Amino acid sequence: MNRRYFLGAGLALTSIPAWAKSDTARNAAPRTLSLHHLHTDERLSVTYRVGDHYQRSALQRLNHFLRDFRSGDTIAIDPRIYDLLFDVQHRLGGDGAVFEIISGYRSAQTNTMLRRASSGVARKSLHMSGKAIDVRLADMPTRSIRDAAVALAKGGVGYYPKSDFVHLDTGRVRRWGA
């Protein structure tokens, strides 16, 4: 490596567009989510990731928070769910807003029970593998959450306007609902 190499590298760094710099800074910043579980009335505000590093204790708290509230069973939730929530929130300009949780993890028994009660529950629901969550944001139309999640193209997005929630998952990119 020589002086010319370092000068060239320095020029390359100064030519990075402002949007790329701000995106990099946003990714390096701590990622915090505020949640309210509507079935248990529990609340949690937690920094789950700092830069590229997920915070183990925060993930454990989130796994418990998103447990199957009917059975108490827990599973390791896919951390990309939290990134998806964070990115949706950021895209909507609602940093610090509270996500209302309708459903997180579901045991196989709970999923079977819900399938018997409703035709809208998938047999192989990603809720059972900790890769799905049903949410809404306080004071935000659910269609806005749907639109933000669809634009991100990071997984499945189901829109349920009559029940007033959005399903988000880390499966393949797809969408359904009104």
5, part of any domain: no
- 50-85: pLDDT as tens digits: 999 999 999 999 999 999 999 999 999 999 999 999
- Tell whether the model's pLDDT for residue 2 goes beyond 70: no
Question: Domain total for the chain?
Answer: 1
Q: Which domain CATH number covers 42?
A: 3.30.1380.10
Note if the pTM is more than 0.85: no
Domain span at residue 37 reads 18-177
Q: Report which of residues 163 and 21 the model is more confident about.
A: 163
Q: Is 39 exposed, middle or buried (0-12, 13-18, 19+ CB in 10 A)?
A: exposed
Beta strands across the sheet bearing 174-177: 53-54, 43-50, 30-37, 98-103, 132-137, 165-169, 156-160, 174-177
2, part of any domain: no
109, part of any domain: yes
The helix/strand/coil state of 133 is strand
53, part of any domain: yes
120, part of any domain: yes
Task: For residue 3, name the pLDDT band (cuts at 50, 70, 90).
Answer: very low
Q: Kindly report the backbone phi and psi dihedral angles of residue 59, in degrees, each rounded to the nearest multiple of 5, phi listed first.
A: -65, -40
12, part of any domain: no
The helix/strand/coil state of 15 is coil
37, part of any domain: yes
